[in-house]
Chains A and B, each alone.
Chain A
Amino acid sequence: MQSNLKLKGLLVITLLPALLLYSFFVIIPIFWSSYYGFFEWSGLGDATYIGLQNYIDVMQSPVFWRSLKNNLIIVAASVFGQVPIALALALMLRKSNWFQIFVRSAVFLPMVISTVVVGLIWGYIYDPEIGVINTVLRAVGLESWTKAWLADPSVNMYAVAVPIIWNYIGPYLIIFIAAIQNIPSEMEEAAMIDGASGWKKLIYIILPNMWTTIKVAVVLCISGSLKAFDQVFVMTGGGPAESTEILATYMYNNTFLVYRYGYGSAVSTMIILLSLILIGISQVLMKRKNEGMTIR
Protein backbone atom coordinates (compact mmCIF):
# COMPACT_ATOMS: atom_id res chain seq x y z
CA MET A 1 0.00 0.00 0.00
CA GLN A 2 0.96 3.61 -0.18
CA SER A 3 3.33 5.25 2.22
CA ASN A 4 2.38 6.53 5.62
CA LEU A 5 3.27 10.06 4.58
CA LYS A 6 0.85 9.95 1.72
CA LEU A 7 -1.88 8.74 4.07
CA LYS A 8 -1.23 11.63 6.40
CA GLY A 9 -1.43 14.07 3.50
CA LEU A 10 -4.72 12.53 2.47
CA LEU A 11 -6.14 12.83 5.95
CA VAL A 12 -5.23 16.49 6.11
CA ILE A 13 -6.60 17.30 2.67
CA THR A 14 -9.86 15.45 3.17
CA LEU A 15 -10.59 16.55 6.70
CA LEU A 16 -9.45 20.13 6.45
CA PRO A 17 -12.32 21.70 4.43
CA ALA A 18 -15.06 20.32 6.65
CA LEU A 19 -13.06 20.99 9.78
CA LEU A 20 -12.35 24.60 8.85
CA LEU A 21 -15.89 25.34 7.77
CA TYR A 22 -17.35 23.73 10.85
CA SER A 23 -14.92 25.36 13.27
CA PHE A 24 -15.28 28.79 11.75
CA PHE A 25 -19.07 28.90 11.57
CA VAL A 26 -20.08 26.72 14.50
CA ILE A 27 -17.36 26.41 17.13
CA ILE A 28 -15.66 29.82 17.06
CA PRO A 29 -18.95 31.73 17.33
CA ILE A 30 -19.71 29.84 20.54
CA PHE A 31 -16.53 31.14 22.10
CA TRP A 32 -17.20 34.63 20.78
CA SER A 33 -20.66 34.42 22.21
CA SER A 34 -19.45 33.56 25.70
CA TYR A 35 -16.89 36.36 25.35
CA TYR A 36 -19.53 38.97 24.37
CA GLY A 37 -21.34 37.85 27.49
CA PHE A 38 -18.78 39.80 29.50
CA PHE A 39 -19.78 43.11 27.93
CA GLU A 40 -22.53 45.62 28.11
CA TRP A 41 -23.17 46.22 24.43
CA SER A 42 -26.08 47.52 22.41
CA GLY A 43 -24.85 46.14 19.11
CA LEU A 44 -23.94 49.60 17.83
CA GLY A 45 -21.17 51.66 19.34
CA ASP A 46 -18.79 50.75 22.13
CA ALA A 47 -18.93 47.76 24.41
CA THR A 48 -18.12 48.09 28.10
CA TYR A 49 -16.46 45.24 29.95
CA ILE A 50 -18.59 44.34 32.96
CA GLY A 51 -17.12 41.03 34.01
CA LEU A 52 -19.55 38.34 35.07
CA GLN A 53 -22.43 40.77 35.56
CA ASN A 54 -24.47 39.55 32.58
CA TYR A 55 -24.11 35.94 33.67
CA ILE A 56 -25.15 36.89 37.20
CA ASP A 57 -28.12 38.83 35.82
CA VAL A 58 -29.14 35.85 33.73
CA MET A 59 -29.04 33.60 36.77
CA GLN A 60 -31.08 36.10 38.77
CA SER A 61 -33.66 36.79 36.08
CA PRO A 62 -37.00 35.12 36.88
CA VAL A 63 -37.88 35.19 33.19
CA PHE A 64 -34.78 33.16 32.37
CA TRP A 65 -35.81 30.48 34.82
CA ARG A 66 -39.34 30.55 33.49
CA SER A 67 -37.95 30.14 29.97
CA LEU A 68 -35.91 27.20 31.17
CA LYS A 69 -38.96 25.64 32.81
CA ASN A 70 -40.99 26.17 29.66
CA ASN A 71 -38.20 24.72 27.59
CA LEU A 72 -38.13 21.67 29.81
CA ILE A 73 -41.85 21.28 29.17
CA ILE A 74 -41.09 21.22 25.47
CA VAL A 75 -38.25 18.75 26.00
CA ALA A 76 -40.49 16.52 28.10
CA ALA A 77 -43.35 16.79 25.63
CA SER A 78 -41.01 15.85 22.81
CA VAL A 79 -39.32 12.98 24.59
CA PHE A 80 -42.54 11.57 26.04
CA GLY A 81 -44.63 12.57 23.04
CA GLN A 82 -42.62 12.09 19.87
CA VAL A 83 -40.74 8.98 20.92
CA PRO A 84 -43.67 6.88 22.26
CA ILE A 85 -46.03 7.95 19.48
CA ALA A 86 -43.41 7.16 16.88
CA LEU A 87 -42.70 3.85 18.59
CA ALA A 88 -46.37 2.89 18.74
CA LEU A 89 -46.86 3.82 15.11
CA ALA A 90 -43.75 1.90 14.13
CA LEU A 91 -45.13 -1.23 15.79
CA MET A 92 -48.39 -0.82 13.91
CA LEU A 93 -46.80 0.00 10.57
CA ARG A 94 -44.60 -2.98 9.85
CA LYS A 95 -46.18 -3.99 6.59
CA SER A 96 -45.85 -2.28 3.24
CA ASN A 97 -49.37 -2.20 1.84
CA TRP A 98 -50.70 1.01 0.34
CA PHE A 99 -52.53 2.03 3.51
CA GLN A 100 -49.46 1.76 5.68
CA ILE A 101 -47.34 3.60 3.15
CA PHE A 102 -49.97 6.31 3.08
CA VAL A 103 -49.92 6.63 6.87
CA ARG A 104 -46.13 6.76 6.92
CA SER A 105 -46.09 9.49 4.27
CA ALA A 106 -48.74 11.45 6.13
CA VAL A 107 -46.72 11.30 9.34
CA PHE A 108 -43.60 12.46 7.56
CA LEU A 109 -45.38 15.21 5.64
CA PRO A 110 -45.10 17.96 8.31
CA MET A 111 -41.32 17.70 7.98
CA VAL A 112 -41.48 19.23 4.52
CA ILE A 113 -43.43 22.28 5.63
CA SER A 114 -41.49 25.31 6.79
CA THR A 115 -41.54 25.68 10.57
CA VAL A 116 -42.73 29.25 10.12
CA VAL A 117 -45.73 28.01 8.17
CA VAL A 118 -46.33 25.35 10.82
CA GLY A 119 -46.43 28.06 13.49
CA LEU A 120 -48.82 30.16 11.50
CA ILE A 121 -51.20 27.34 10.68
CA TRP A 122 -51.33 26.16 14.28
CA GLY A 123 -51.86 29.71 15.44
CA TYR A 124 -55.08 29.50 13.46
CA ILE A 125 -56.00 26.07 14.70
CA TYR A 126 -55.83 27.50 18.22
CA ASP A 127 -57.69 30.72 17.39
CA PRO A 128 -60.36 31.23 20.07
CA GLU A 129 -62.98 32.42 17.57
CA ILE A 130 -62.40 30.76 14.25
CA GLY A 131 -59.93 28.03 15.23
CA VAL A 132 -60.84 24.46 14.44
CA ILE A 133 -60.36 23.21 18.00
CA ASN A 134 -62.88 25.55 19.59
CA THR A 135 -65.21 25.15 16.63
CA VAL A 136 -65.24 21.39 17.09
CA LEU A 137 -65.67 21.70 20.87
CA ARG A 138 -68.65 23.98 20.38
CA ALA A 139 -70.13 21.66 17.77
CA VAL A 140 -70.07 18.69 20.14
CA GLY A 141 -71.50 20.69 23.02
CA LEU A 142 -68.34 21.11 25.05
CA GLU A 143 -68.63 24.89 25.04
CA SER A 144 -67.11 25.06 28.52
CA TRP A 145 -63.90 23.42 27.33
CA THR A 146 -63.17 26.13 24.81
CA LYS A 147 -60.20 28.26 25.68
CA ALA A 148 -57.95 30.97 24.38
CA TRP A 149 -55.34 28.28 23.95
CA LEU A 150 -52.38 30.51 23.27
CA ALA A 151 -53.33 33.39 25.55
CA ASP A 152 -54.23 31.52 28.73
CA PRO A 153 -51.02 30.96 30.75
CA SER A 154 -52.44 27.86 32.39
CA VAL A 155 -52.51 25.95 29.11
CA ASN A 156 -50.57 27.90 26.52
CA MET A 157 -47.22 26.18 27.09
CA TYR A 158 -48.79 22.79 26.43
CA ALA A 159 -50.63 24.20 23.44
CA VAL A 160 -47.33 25.45 22.08
CA ALA A 161 -45.69 22.03 22.56
CA VAL A 162 -48.23 20.13 20.45
CA PRO A 163 -47.22 21.54 17.05
CA ILE A 164 -43.59 20.81 17.84
CA ILE A 165 -44.45 17.18 18.56
CA TRP A 166 -46.64 17.07 15.46
CA ASN A 167 -43.86 18.51 13.35
CA TYR A 168 -41.18 15.91 14.10
CA ILE A 169 -42.79 12.51 14.62
CA GLY A 170 -41.91 11.50 11.06
CA PRO A 171 -38.16 11.00 11.28
CA TYR A 172 -38.41 9.03 14.53
CA LEU A 173 -41.08 6.82 13.03
CA ILE A 174 -38.79 5.93 10.18
CA ILE A 175 -35.83 5.31 12.44
CA PHE A 176 -37.93 2.97 14.57
CA ILE A 177 -39.39 1.10 11.62
CA ALA A 178 -35.85 0.49 10.46
CA ALA A 179 -34.78 -0.71 13.88
CA ILE A 180 -37.66 -3.15 14.11
CA GLN A 181 -36.87 -4.54 10.70
CA ASN A 182 -33.31 -5.13 11.86
CA ILE A 183 -34.31 -7.39 14.74
CA PRO A 184 -33.26 -10.88 13.68
CA SER A 185 -36.43 -12.78 12.81
CA GLU A 186 -35.11 -15.94 14.55
CA MET A 187 -35.42 -14.14 17.87
CA GLU A 188 -39.04 -13.35 17.29
CA GLU A 189 -39.76 -16.87 16.12
CA ALA A 190 -38.04 -18.34 19.13
CA ALA A 191 -40.13 -16.11 21.35
CA MET A 192 -43.29 -17.26 19.58
CA ILE A 193 -42.41 -20.88 20.22
CA ASP A 194 -41.85 -20.09 23.88
CA GLY A 195 -45.42 -18.82 23.90
CA ALA A 196 -44.53 -15.18 24.31
CA SER A 197 -46.90 -12.92 22.44
CA GLY A 198 -48.21 -9.39 22.39
CA TRP A 199 -46.96 -7.36 25.31
CA LYS A 200 -44.46 -9.95 26.45
CA LYS A 201 -42.84 -10.07 23.05
CA LEU A 202 -42.73 -6.31 23.02
CA ILE A 203 -41.11 -6.03 26.43
CA TYR A 204 -38.69 -8.93 26.25
CA ILE A 205 -37.73 -9.01 22.57
CA ILE A 206 -38.52 -5.86 20.68
CA LEU A 207 -37.73 -3.09 23.11
CA PRO A 208 -34.39 -4.45 24.35
CA ASN A 209 -33.27 -4.88 20.77
CA MET A 210 -34.23 -1.32 19.97
CA TRP A 211 -32.77 0.23 23.08
CA THR A 212 -29.74 1.70 21.32
CA THR A 213 -31.94 3.27 18.68
CA ILE A 214 -34.32 4.66 21.26
CA LYS A 215 -31.39 6.25 23.04
CA VAL A 216 -30.21 7.88 19.83
CA ALA A 217 -33.75 9.13 19.27
CA VAL A 218 -33.96 10.57 22.77
CA VAL A 219 -30.70 12.45 22.34
CA LEU A 220 -31.80 13.83 18.98
CA CYS A 221 -35.11 14.73 20.58
CA ILE A 222 -33.57 16.62 23.50
CA SER A 223 -31.11 18.54 21.38
CA GLY A 224 -33.84 19.25 18.85
CA SER A 225 -36.36 20.58 21.33
CA LEU A 226 -33.82 22.73 23.14
CA LYS A 227 -33.26 24.38 19.79
CA ALA A 228 -36.97 24.92 19.16
CA PHE A 229 -37.67 28.48 18.14
CA ASP A 230 -39.57 29.12 14.92
CA GLN A 231 -42.93 27.62 15.85
CA VAL A 232 -43.08 29.36 19.23
CA PHE A 233 -41.80 32.62 17.81
CA VAL A 234 -44.52 32.67 15.17
CA MET A 235 -47.35 31.45 17.38
CA THR A 236 -46.81 33.64 20.44
CA GLY A 237 -43.47 35.42 20.20
CA GLY A 238 -42.93 34.30 23.79
CA GLY A 239 -46.00 36.15 25.04
CA PRO A 240 -48.41 37.05 26.46
CA ALA A 241 -46.41 38.67 29.22
CA GLU A 242 -43.50 36.31 28.51
CA SER A 243 -45.55 33.30 29.60
CA THR A 244 -44.45 31.14 26.68
CA GLU A 245 -40.90 32.41 26.58
CA ILE A 246 -38.44 29.59 25.89
CA LEU A 247 -34.66 29.89 26.00
CA ALA A 248 -34.21 30.66 22.31
CA THR A 249 -36.98 33.27 22.18
CA TYR A 250 -35.72 34.81 25.41
CA MET A 251 -32.28 35.14 23.88
CA TYR A 252 -33.67 36.45 20.61
CA ASN A 253 -35.95 39.02 22.22
CA ASN A 254 -33.19 40.35 24.44
CA THR A 255 -30.74 40.61 21.60
CA PHE A 256 -32.85 41.83 18.74
CA LEU A 257 -35.82 43.50 20.38
CA VAL A 258 -34.24 45.48 23.18
CA TYR A 259 -30.68 45.43 21.79
CA ARG A 260 -28.94 43.87 24.79
CA TYR A 261 -26.35 41.97 22.77
CA GLY A 262 -24.10 41.21 25.72
CA TYR A 263 -26.91 39.85 27.81
CA GLY A 264 -28.31 37.85 24.89
CA SER A 265 -24.87 36.32 24.34
CA ALA A 266 -24.67 35.31 27.98
CA VAL A 267 -28.05 33.62 27.55
CA SER A 268 -26.82 31.68 24.50
CA THR A 269 -23.80 30.46 26.39
CA MET A 270 -26.11 29.23 29.11
CA ILE A 271 -28.26 27.44 26.51
CA ILE A 272 -25.26 25.49 25.26
CA LEU A 273 -24.15 24.57 28.77
CA LEU A 274 -27.67 23.46 29.65
CA SER A 275 -27.91 21.34 26.50
CA LEU A 276 -24.72 19.54 27.41
CA ILE A 277 -25.89 18.97 30.98
CA LEU A 278 -29.29 17.66 29.88
CA ILE A 279 -27.81 15.29 27.34
CA GLY A 280 -25.39 14.08 30.01
CA ILE A 281 -28.22 13.44 32.46
CA SER A 282 -30.26 11.60 29.85
CA GLN A 283 -27.26 9.39 29.07
CA VAL A 284 -26.81 8.48 32.71
CA LEU A 285 -30.52 7.80 33.19
CA MET A 286 -30.71 5.53 30.18
CA LYS A 287 -27.53 3.64 30.91
CA ARG A 288 -28.33 -0.05 31.06
CA LYS A 289 -26.09 -2.80 32.26
CA ASN A 290 -22.99 -3.22 30.18
CA GLU A 291 -23.74 -0.77 27.44
CA GLY A 292 -21.11 1.87 26.90
CA MET A 293 -22.97 3.91 24.36
CA THR A 294 -22.02 7.49 23.71
CA ILE A 295 -23.98 9.90 21.59
CA ARG A 296 -23.17 7.93 18.51
Chain B
Amino acid sequence: MKFHLFKGIRILFLAVFSLMMIYPLYWLITSAFKTNKEFFARPHSFPTNFSFENFTRAWEVADLGTAMMNSTIVTITATALTVFLGALTAYVLSRFTFKLKAFLMVFFLLGMLIPIHSTLVPLFTMMDQIGLLDTYWALILPYTAFELPIAIFLTVAYMSSIPKELEEAAVIDGNGYWGVFFRIMLPLSVPALSTVAILSFLRYWNEFVFALVFINDSTLKTLPLSLSIFSDGFSTDYALTMAAMTIAVIPTIVMYLIFQEQIMKGMVAGSVKG
Protein backbone atom coordinates (compact mmCIF):
# COMPACT_ATOMS: atom_id res chain seq x y z
CA MET B 1 0.00 0.00 0.00
CA LYS B 2 2.72 2.40 1.00
CA PHE B 3 4.61 1.43 -2.11
CA HIS B 4 1.64 2.24 -4.33
CA LEU B 5 1.15 5.59 -2.71
CA PHE B 6 4.79 6.46 -3.35
CA LYS B 7 4.47 5.41 -6.96
CA GLY B 8 1.30 7.44 -7.35
CA ILE B 9 2.98 10.57 -6.00
CA ARG B 10 5.88 10.03 -8.33
CA ILE B 11 3.66 9.72 -11.38
CA LEU B 12 1.68 12.77 -10.36
CA PHE B 13 4.88 14.73 -9.85
CA LEU B 14 6.24 13.70 -13.23
CA ALA B 15 2.98 14.58 -14.94
CA VAL B 16 2.83 18.03 -13.36
CA PHE B 17 6.48 18.60 -14.14
CA SER B 18 5.97 17.69 -17.80
CA LEU B 19 3.04 20.06 -18.05
CA MET B 20 5.23 22.85 -16.66
CA MET B 21 7.77 22.11 -19.35
CA ILE B 22 5.15 22.14 -22.09
CA TYR B 23 3.00 25.02 -20.86
CA PRO B 24 5.01 27.91 -22.35
CA LEU B 25 4.88 26.34 -25.78
CA TYR B 26 1.17 25.77 -25.44
CA TRP B 27 0.77 29.40 -24.41
CA LEU B 28 2.78 30.59 -27.41
CA ILE B 29 0.69 28.63 -29.88
CA THR B 30 -2.70 29.55 -28.41
CA SER B 31 -1.67 33.21 -28.22
CA ALA B 32 -0.75 33.16 -31.88
CA PHE B 33 -4.41 32.65 -32.75
CA LYS B 34 -5.65 35.61 -30.71
CA THR B 35 -6.22 39.18 -31.75
CA ASN B 36 -4.23 41.85 -29.96
CA LYS B 37 -7.24 42.77 -27.91
CA GLU B 38 -7.97 39.20 -26.92
CA PHE B 39 -4.32 38.68 -26.10
CA PHE B 40 -4.45 41.33 -23.38
CA ALA B 41 -8.02 40.84 -22.24
CA ARG B 42 -7.99 37.04 -21.96
CA PRO B 43 -4.34 36.02 -21.80
CA HIS B 44 -4.86 32.51 -20.43
CA SER B 45 -8.00 31.36 -22.11
CA PHE B 46 -8.33 29.29 -25.21
CA PRO B 47 -8.62 31.42 -28.38
CA THR B 48 -12.23 32.15 -29.29
CA ASN B 49 -11.82 31.33 -32.94
CA PHE B 50 -9.08 29.64 -34.88
CA SER B 51 -8.35 32.04 -37.67
CA PHE B 52 -5.06 31.83 -39.50
CA GLU B 53 -5.07 35.50 -40.32
CA ASN B 54 -2.22 36.28 -37.91
CA PHE B 55 -0.08 33.68 -39.57
CA THR B 56 -0.68 34.82 -43.12
CA ARG B 57 -0.13 38.48 -42.22
CA ALA B 58 3.01 37.74 -40.22
CA TRP B 59 4.30 35.64 -43.09
CA GLU B 60 3.79 38.46 -45.59
CA VAL B 61 4.84 41.46 -43.53
CA ALA B 62 7.99 39.97 -42.05
CA ASP B 63 8.80 38.23 -45.31
CA LEU B 64 9.16 35.01 -43.38
CA GLY B 65 9.50 33.06 -46.61
CA THR B 66 12.84 34.72 -47.35
CA ALA B 67 13.92 34.46 -43.73
CA MET B 68 13.00 30.78 -43.63
CA MET B 69 15.03 30.19 -46.80
CA ASN B 70 18.05 32.05 -45.38
CA SER B 71 17.82 30.22 -42.09
CA THR B 72 17.61 26.92 -43.92
CA ILE B 73 20.64 27.65 -46.09
CA VAL B 74 22.75 28.91 -43.20
CA THR B 75 21.68 26.23 -40.74
CA ILE B 76 22.05 23.27 -43.06
CA THR B 77 25.37 24.35 -44.54
CA ALA B 78 26.82 25.10 -41.13
CA THR B 79 25.45 21.85 -39.70
CA ALA B 80 26.94 19.80 -42.53
CA LEU B 81 30.27 21.59 -42.14
CA THR B 82 30.25 21.07 -38.37
CA VAL B 83 29.48 17.37 -38.66
CA PHE B 84 32.11 16.77 -41.33
CA LEU B 85 34.92 18.77 -39.74
CA GLY B 86 34.02 17.51 -36.29
CA ALA B 87 34.11 13.89 -37.46
CA LEU B 88 37.36 14.33 -39.34
CA THR B 89 39.12 16.00 -36.44
CA ALA B 90 37.70 13.52 -33.95
CA TYR B 91 38.90 10.64 -36.13
CA VAL B 92 42.47 11.89 -35.97
CA LEU B 93 42.32 12.81 -32.32
CA SER B 94 40.82 9.51 -31.26
CA ARG B 95 42.68 7.02 -33.47
CA PHE B 96 46.22 8.33 -33.80
CA THR B 97 48.91 9.18 -31.32
CA PHE B 98 51.19 12.11 -32.03
CA LYS B 99 53.13 14.69 -30.14
CA LEU B 100 50.67 17.58 -30.10
CA LYS B 101 47.59 15.46 -29.51
CA ALA B 102 47.02 16.29 -25.85
CA PHE B 103 47.64 19.96 -26.51
CA LEU B 104 45.20 20.04 -29.42
CA MET B 105 42.55 18.32 -27.38
CA VAL B 106 42.77 20.92 -24.64
CA PHE B 107 43.03 23.69 -27.21
CA PHE B 108 39.76 22.67 -28.83
CA LEU B 109 37.99 22.08 -25.54
CA LEU B 110 38.92 25.58 -24.40
CA GLY B 111 36.42 26.83 -26.94
CA MET B 112 33.57 25.42 -24.88
CA LEU B 113 34.29 28.02 -22.23
CA ILE B 114 34.29 31.05 -24.44
CA PRO B 115 31.16 33.21 -24.34
CA ILE B 116 30.10 33.92 -27.89
CA HIS B 117 29.51 37.61 -27.12
CA SER B 118 33.03 38.37 -26.04
CA THR B 119 34.17 37.94 -29.62
CA LEU B 120 31.48 40.09 -31.23
CA VAL B 121 33.47 43.27 -31.73
CA PRO B 122 36.71 41.75 -32.98
CA LEU B 123 34.83 39.34 -35.22
CA PHE B 124 32.83 42.21 -36.62
CA THR B 125 35.97 44.19 -37.41
CA MET B 126 37.85 41.19 -38.82
CA MET B 127 34.99 40.15 -41.05
CA ASP B 128 34.45 43.73 -42.15
CA GLN B 129 38.06 43.92 -43.27
CA ILE B 130 37.96 40.74 -45.33
CA GLY B 131 34.53 41.60 -46.71
CA LEU B 132 32.67 38.69 -45.17
CA LEU B 133 29.98 40.78 -43.52
CA ASP B 134 26.56 40.58 -45.07
CA THR B 135 27.11 37.20 -46.66
CA TYR B 136 25.90 33.79 -45.59
CA TRP B 137 29.49 32.95 -44.69
CA ALA B 138 29.47 35.64 -42.00
CA LEU B 139 27.18 33.30 -40.09
CA ILE B 140 28.16 29.86 -41.38
CA LEU B 141 31.86 30.09 -40.55
CA PRO B 142 31.63 31.50 -36.99
CA TYR B 143 28.72 29.19 -36.15
CA THR B 144 30.76 26.19 -37.21
CA ALA B 145 33.87 27.40 -35.42
CA PHE B 146 32.01 27.89 -32.15
CA GLU B 147 30.25 24.53 -32.34
CA LEU B 148 33.39 22.55 -33.23
CA PRO B 149 34.57 22.06 -29.63
CA ILE B 150 31.40 20.33 -28.51
CA ALA B 151 31.21 18.38 -31.78
CA ILE B 152 34.77 17.15 -31.30
CA PHE B 153 34.16 16.45 -27.62
CA LEU B 154 31.14 14.24 -28.30
CA THR B 155 32.58 12.49 -31.33
CA VAL B 156 36.00 11.73 -29.86
CA ALA B 157 34.34 10.07 -26.89
CA TYR B 158 32.26 7.92 -29.19
CA MET B 159 34.96 7.02 -31.68
CA SER B 160 37.32 5.92 -28.91
CA SER B 161 34.87 3.14 -28.15
CA ILE B 162 34.95 1.69 -31.66
CA PRO B 163 37.05 -1.53 -31.55
CA LYS B 164 40.49 -1.27 -33.12
CA GLU B 165 39.95 -4.64 -34.91
CA LEU B 166 37.37 -3.17 -37.24
CA GLU B 167 39.91 -0.63 -38.40
CA GLU B 168 42.60 -3.25 -38.90
CA ALA B 169 40.27 -5.45 -40.89
CA ALA B 170 39.52 -2.56 -43.18
CA VAL B 171 43.22 -1.89 -43.71
CA ILE B 172 43.73 -5.54 -44.67
CA ASP B 173 40.93 -5.13 -47.20
CA GLY B 174 43.12 -2.49 -48.83
CA ASN B 175 41.73 0.70 -47.36
CA GLY B 176 43.95 3.70 -46.68
CA TYR B 177 43.35 6.17 -43.87
CA TRP B 178 40.63 7.88 -45.85
CA GLY B 179 39.02 4.58 -46.68
CA VAL B 180 38.93 3.73 -42.98
CA PHE B 181 37.45 7.11 -42.22
CA PHE B 182 34.72 7.03 -44.85
CA ARG B 183 33.91 3.30 -44.79
CA ILE B 184 34.31 2.47 -41.10
CA MET B 185 34.50 5.43 -38.73
CA LEU B 186 31.91 7.68 -40.32
CA PRO B 187 29.11 5.09 -40.65
CA LEU B 188 29.80 3.65 -37.21
CA SER B 189 29.70 7.08 -35.58
CA VAL B 190 26.27 7.95 -36.90
CA PRO B 191 24.64 8.02 -33.42
CA ALA B 192 27.16 10.54 -32.09
CA LEU B 193 27.18 12.52 -35.30
CA SER B 194 23.41 12.78 -35.37
CA THR B 195 23.52 14.22 -31.86
CA VAL B 196 26.05 16.76 -33.06
CA ALA B 197 23.85 17.50 -36.04
CA ILE B 198 20.73 18.01 -33.95
CA LEU B 199 22.39 20.20 -31.36
CA SER B 200 24.04 22.35 -34.02
CA PHE B 201 20.86 22.55 -36.03
CA LEU B 202 18.91 23.83 -33.02
CA ARG B 203 21.62 26.29 -32.07
CA TYR B 204 22.05 27.72 -35.56
CA TRP B 205 18.35 27.90 -36.31
CA ASN B 206 17.72 29.96 -33.19
CA GLU B 207 20.89 32.02 -33.00
CA PHE B 208 20.20 35.70 -32.61
CA VAL B 209 23.22 37.82 -31.71
CA PHE B 210 25.61 36.98 -34.53
CA ALA B 211 22.74 37.28 -36.97
CA LEU B 212 21.87 40.68 -35.54
CA VAL B 213 25.36 42.10 -35.77
CA PHE B 214 26.84 40.46 -38.86
CA ILE B 215 23.89 40.74 -41.22
CA ASN B 216 22.56 44.09 -42.37
CA ASP B 217 20.97 43.22 -45.65
CA SER B 218 17.31 42.46 -45.12
CA THR B 219 17.32 39.92 -47.95
CA LEU B 220 19.86 37.83 -46.01
CA LYS B 221 18.17 37.99 -42.65
CA THR B 222 17.55 34.80 -40.74
CA LEU B 223 14.40 33.95 -38.82
CA PRO B 224 15.26 35.16 -35.31
CA LEU B 225 15.80 38.65 -36.70
CA SER B 226 12.48 38.70 -38.50
CA LEU B 227 10.73 38.13 -35.23
CA SER B 228 11.64 41.63 -34.05
CA ILE B 229 9.98 43.33 -37.00
CA PHE B 230 6.62 43.78 -35.27
CA SER B 231 8.15 45.92 -32.60
CA ASP B 232 8.99 49.48 -33.61
CA GLY B 233 10.52 50.54 -30.32
CA PHE B 234 7.27 52.23 -29.29
CA SER B 235 4.76 49.50 -29.67
CA THR B 236 4.67 45.80 -30.35
CA ASP B 237 2.09 43.90 -32.33
CA TYR B 238 1.88 40.87 -30.07
CA ALA B 239 -0.55 38.88 -32.17
CA LEU B 240 1.77 38.98 -35.17
CA THR B 241 4.89 38.44 -33.05
CA MET B 242 3.40 35.30 -31.53
CA ALA B 243 2.31 34.04 -34.93
CA ALA B 244 5.78 34.62 -36.39
CA MET B 245 7.39 32.87 -33.42
CA THR B 246 5.08 29.91 -33.82
CA ILE B 247 6.00 29.67 -37.47
CA ALA B 248 9.69 29.81 -36.54
CA VAL B 249 9.43 27.12 -33.90
CA ILE B 250 7.53 24.59 -36.03
CA PRO B 251 10.51 23.35 -38.09
CA THR B 252 12.55 22.67 -34.96
CA ILE B 253 9.73 20.76 -33.34
CA VAL B 254 9.23 18.69 -36.47
CA MET B 255 12.96 18.02 -36.62
CA TYR B 256 12.90 17.05 -32.98
CA LEU B 257 9.97 14.69 -33.35
CA ILE B 258 11.53 12.97 -36.35
CA PHE B 259 14.95 12.58 -34.80
CA GLN B 260 13.93 12.29 -31.16
CA GLU B 261 15.09 8.70 -30.90
CA GLN B 262 18.44 9.54 -32.47
CA ILE B 263 18.99 12.41 -30.07
CA MET B 264 18.48 10.17 -27.09
CA LYS B 265 20.70 7.43 -28.47
CA GLY B 266 23.42 9.78 -29.59
CA MET B 267 23.52 11.60 -26.28
CA VAL B 268 23.66 8.31 -24.47
CA ALA B 269 26.44 7.08 -26.68
CA GLY B 270 28.53 10.21 -26.75
CA SER B 271 28.42 11.58 -23.30
CA VAL B 272 29.14 8.87 -20.79
CA LYS B 273 32.56 7.79 -21.91
CA GLY B 274 34.12 10.83 -20.27
Contact = CB atoms under 8 A, between A and B. Distances in A.
Same complex origin of A and B? yes
A256 B153 CA distance: 33
Interface stretch (A9-17, A60-68, A146-154, A189-197): A9-17
B153 to A, nearest CB: 7
Interface in A245-296: 247-248, 251-252, 255-256, 261, 264-265, 268-269, 271-272, 275-276, 279, 293-296
Interface string A13-52: 0110111011011111110110010000001000000000
A276 B24 CA distance: 34
A112 B253 contact: yes
26 contacts: A1-B171, A2-B176, A10-B92, A17-B85, A18-B108, A26-B119, A26-B146, A27-B110, A27-B111, A30-B118, A30-B122, A36-B122, A105-B260, A107-B21, A109-B256, A113-B249, A114-B205, A114-B206, A114-B227, A116-B208, A130-B43, A174-B268, A178-B269, A178-B272, A181-B268, A265-B122
Given A103-B18, A117-B248, A166-B21, A229 B119 contact: no
Contact of B145 (A26, A105, A220): A26
A131 B152 CA distance: 42
A110 B28 CA distance: 12
Contacts, number: 249
A105 B86 CA distance: 27
A56 interface: no
B233 interface: no
Contacts of A103: 14-15, 17-18
B170 interface: no
Chain A: interface secondary structure? Answer: helix
Interface in A114-139: 114-118, 120-122, 124-125, 127, 130-132, 135
Interface residues of A, number: 94
Contacts of A230: 208-209
Interface of B: 10-11, 14-15, 17-25, 27-28, 40, 43-44, 85-86, 88-89, 91-92, 96, 98, 104-106, 108-123, 125-126, 141-142, 144-146, 148-149, 152-153, 156-157, 171, 176-177, 202, 205-206, 208-209, 213, 224, 227, 241, 245, 248-249, 252-253, 255-256, 260, 263-264, 267-269, 271-272, 274
B92 to A, nearest CB: 5
A16 to B, nearest CB: 10
B92 A33 contact: no
A135 B116 CA distance: 37
Contacts of A107: 17-18, 21
A121 B28 contact: yes
Contacts of A29: 118-119, 122-123, 126
B267 A178 contact: yes
B272 A32 contact: no
Contacts of B253: 109, 112
Contact of B117 (A27, A117, A248): A248
A7 interface: yes
A124 B122 contact: no
A182 interface: yes
